[in-house]
Chains A and B, each alone.
Chain A
Amino acid sequence: DTAVSQTPKYLVTQMGNDKSIKCEQNLGHDTMYWYKQDSKKFLKIMFSYNNKELIINETVPNRFSPKSPDKAHLNLHINSLELGDSAVYFCASSRTVDQPQHFGDGTRLSIL
């Protein structure tokens, strides 16, 4: 069983569209994260939820909106997609905020 799973694995879409990425963890962790890894492989935190409460909200365009319906799920919705949004988006989770983070397989988003 995959511990942190993301869907879809690949997402190819056109500029201006709205899309969502889903993440689920079956580890019983309290904290979940979204990261963006750009073409230069730099990995940057975007958002984090702890027990469904938003605790990290980095400076990202407000076209990006996370939602955590429960502790095991953290979704990322992106409105009005732009070329610069092309990247790999990783979900991660940790038992608590001070425990190591474990990553999902990533979603490769390509904007045409």
Chain B
Amino acid sequence: QKEVEQNSGPLSVPEGAIASLNCTYSDRGSQSFFWYRQYSGKSPELIMSIYSNGDKEDGRFTAQLNKASQYVSLLIRDSQPSDSATYLCAVRTRGNTGKLIFGQGTTLQVKP
């Protein structure tokens, strides 16, 4: 079992729809969770961080965390073609090194 799993996609949604991206992780002791967006040929860009159970909203983005079920998700409302990118889920392992384990990423395509 991979430590952090994502469906590689592509996930295709029409413009204006809600895109839902999911991620599961294996280490129950993980405490910090991050979503990064990576455009083709560019570097990962942090878009959301979440540390406690529940929802966290920032503009059109909502991160959801369920530690009991060991999953974290990202919702993108009113999807735009400019949201088309690969979304990387990252989980910080227990311990005090800051080590992040990344999923393989989900490619999102938003069609006009």
A in complex with B? yes
Cβ of B25 under 8 Å from chain A: no
Q: Decide: A100 and B49 in contact? CB cutoff 8 A.
A: yes
Q: Is the CB of B45 within 8 A of A42?
A: no
Q: Select one of A42, A94, A99, A102 contacting B104, CB under 8 A.
A: A42
Contact with A along B37-78 (1 / 0, CB 8 A): 010001111100100000000000000000000000000000
* B30 CB to nearest chain A CB (Å): 12
**B97–A55 contact, CB under 8 A?**
yes
Q: How many residues of A contact B (CB 8 A)?
A: 25
A73 to chain B, nearest CB (A): 18
Inter-chain contact B102/A56, CB cutoff 8 Å:
no
Residue A104 CB within 8 A of the other chain:
yes
> In this assembly, does A101 line the interface, its C-beta being within 8 Å of a C-beta of chain B?
yes
B21: Cβ under 8 A from any A Cβ: no
A101 touching B42 by the CB < 8 A rule? no
Q: Select one of B46, B98, B104 contacting A48, CB under 8 A.
A: B98
Please report the C-alpha to C-alpha distance between residue A99 and residue B49 in the assembled complex, in whole angstroms: 9
For A34, what are the chain B residues with a Cβ–Cβ distance below 8 Å? Answer: none
Question: Which B residues are CB-close (under 8 A) to A33?
Answer: 98
11 residue pairs of the A-B complex, CB under 8 angstroms, read: A43-B44, A44-B102, A45-B100, A48-B98, A94-B98, A97-B96, A97-B97, A97-B98, A98-B98, A100-B34, A102-B46
